[in-house]
Amino acid sequence: MTSWTQTTFAPPIPAARKWLDGVDFPADRPLIDLSQAVPADPPPQVLQDVMAEALKSPATHLYGPVLGLSSLRETLAATWSGFYDAKVAPNQIAITAGCNQAFAACIAALCSAGDEVILPVPWYFNHKMCMDMAGVVARPIAVGAGLLPDVDQARSLITPNTKAILLISPNNPTGVEYPPALLHGFFGLAREHGLKLIIDETYRDFHSQTDPVHALLKTTDWDHTLIQLYSFSKSFRMTGHRTGAIIANAETLSEVEKYLDTITICAPTLGQIAAEWGLRNLGPWLADQRADLLTRRAAVEDSFPVLADKGWQLHGVGAYFAWVTHPFAGRAQDIAPKLVREAGVLLLPASMFMPEGDTSADRAFRIAFANVTPSNIKKVTQRLASLDWPLAGARPAS
């Protein structure tokens, strides 16, 4: 008999890090790690001080409300309302132990084994792993021009077992920002068929647009269709404190509450305290972080021509990520360990974000550049451009 965990694959990032075993990186060419989108620096000192003070309170060490501290739900509702210029109430907010748990809780609340969720490919691997372990079928949409999914293609995949459509914007793994019209198109499709539209907005704070990135919350009864997921991890550099959120209607959250009470009882209180203080006080600091991230994004675009001259292609770039294809003979999953050894660069191949057996992106990599300085981004392009490997389609020497 197969267990639920045996229905899915091993976590990709730990698997990729095994490629580093036994590899020595010389001082003049240290490893440049582009594998994971996680802030390397700690929270700002002022937030660390707030957290240290919070540790003195006995309440910090106790169970909290299952759906989150009321003060954080109220503050996030006000922040969300202000950003989207729409009304969001505290009872439409649930706080979770990270955004991965937010997604898992939504799947548990919406689906039974055998139900289906439609999502674009390439997908975020933890979403697929979660669905595998819940017995939920992922129905993939192959993205087209601009790495964008098509509403009509999604329509053709809807069956009586379909429960939701899942989007990520800005996207992980491609970085692409979905246009408002596309998000509204998917919202209309979901509403038409009585489905939920789940939009993971983990990277929203690093969007290239400062205005609201869609107007879905201005739609009448938006919460009958829309579920938004959010994370404080990247925004306030607190990945280890596992604090995420779900924005949905109270009926959905009453089902989510059952899952959260069973799995974690409550999100970590210290992370919630930090998240609320950050929402109230770190707006200017977060704006600086966004500007820094956009500078790194620009560095990817500005330094890429040297790679383009060698046959590399940049297909998408946005918050935290870029999606590229290489010119060499061979698949990205086979070339990735070789890049570690011969170029000192760690990248994740597209196979980690694709259905098993799907060869449509065999030559693609995800570049996670958020922790890499502009100077190191330039070094990466120079290292990759210097590789003199056999090219795809090239005839072997006679």
Side chain identity, residue 223: D
**Measured at the alpha carbon of residue 78, what is the angle toward residues 75 and 80, in degrees to the nearest 5?**
105
Does residue 206 surpass a pLDDT of 90? yes
The H or E element containing residue 121 is strand 116-121
- How confident is residue 2, by pLDDT bands cut at 50, 70 and 90? confident
Mean pLDDT of the chain: 95
Q: What integer is the mean pLDDT of 156-170?
A: 98
pLDDT greater than 70 at residue 87 = yes
| pLDDT tens profile 364-378 | 999 999 999 999 999
For residue 331 the two structure tokens come to 């698949």
DSSP 280-335: HH-HHHHHHHHHHHHHHHHHHHHHTHHHHTTT-EEEEE-SSEEEEE--BSS-HHHH
State yes or no: pLDDT of 80 exceeds 90: yes
The number of angstroms, rounded, from the C-alpha of 153 to the middle of its chain's C-alpha atoms is 23
Contacts of 209 (CB under 8 A, 6+ apart): 177
Q: List the domain boundaries for the chain.
A: 5-42+285-385, 45-282
| Residues listed for the chain | 398
% of the chain exceeding 90 in pLDDT: 93
Q: Residue 388 corresponds to which tokens in the numbers above?
A: 């003199």
C-alpha torsion 252→153→351→361, nearest 10: -150
Q: Which fold has domain 5-42+285-385?
A: Aspartate Aminotransferase, domain 1 (3.90.1150)
- 165 within 8 A of 117, measured Cβ to Cβ: yes
Mean pLDDT of 325-336: 96
131, 138 Cβ separation under 8 angstroms: yes
Question: pLDDT at position 40, please?
Answer: 82
Q: Is 45-282 in the same CATH topology as 5-42+285-385?
A: no
Class assignment of domain 45-282?
alpha beta
pTM: 0.95
- What is residue 395's predicted lDDT score, i.e. its pLDDT? 52
The answer, yes or no, to whether residue 37 has pLDDT greater than 90, is: no
pLDDT single digits (tens) 269-280 = 999 999 999 999
Q: What is the pLDDT of residue 397?
A: 46
When pLDDT is averaged across residues 300-309 and rounded to a whole number, the result is: 97
Residue 125: predicted pLDDT: 96
DSSP state of 113: T
Report the alpha-carbon distance of residue 284 to residue 156 in Å, rounded: 44
CA–CA gap between residue 190 and residue 226 (Å, rounded): 9
Instruction: Compute the average pLDDT of residues 73-99.
Output: 97
| pLDDT exceeds 70 at position 396 | no
Residue 398's pLDDT band, with cuts at 50, 70 and 90, is: very low
Tell me the pLDDT tens digit for each residue of 212-222.
Answer: 889 999 999 99
